[in-house]
């Protein structure tokens, strides 16, 4: 089943390798709710342990050794093959 993203009011861009793994078009900026063009292929490349959310509306901060507008870090659950849903109802950003 393809992944669905809801990006109303913002833009989402996946790096080339990430887009291919998540089933989205490479080098494409998503500005509205969209579905991937193919199913997620987690076998493609290495495992994902964290998802980093960046936003150009916040002040940049140190992310490892790089200055970046890091909004949130999500730890990916470790159960392979399981579906997980995370809903953020409160503004919870790194400060």
Q: Kindly report the number of other CB atoms within 10 A of residue 21's CB atom.
A: 18
Mean pLDDT by runs of 10 across the 95 residues of the chain is 71 82 83 80 67 78 78 74 70 58
End-to-end CA distance of the chain: 36
State whether 27 and 71 are in the same domain.
no
State whether 34 and 60 are in the same domain.
no
pLDDT at 37: 82
pLDDT at 78: 66
Total of domains in the chain: 2
Full domain range(s) for residue 24: 1-42
State whether 11 and 53 are in the same domain.
no
State whether 63 and 34 are in the same domain.
no
């Amino acid at each position: 089943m393809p992944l669905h993203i809801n990006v109303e009011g913002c833009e989402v861009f996946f790096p080339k390798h990430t887009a291919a793994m998540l089933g989205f078009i490479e080098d494409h900026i998503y500005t509205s709710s969209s579905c991937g063009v193919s199913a997620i292929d987690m076998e493609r490349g290495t495992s994902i342990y964290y998802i980093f959310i960046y936003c150009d509306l916040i002040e940049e901060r140190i992310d490892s050794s790089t200055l970046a507008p890091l909004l949130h870090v999500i730890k990916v659950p470790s159960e392979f093959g399981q579906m997980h849903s995370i809903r953020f109802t409160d503004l919870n950003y790194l400060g």
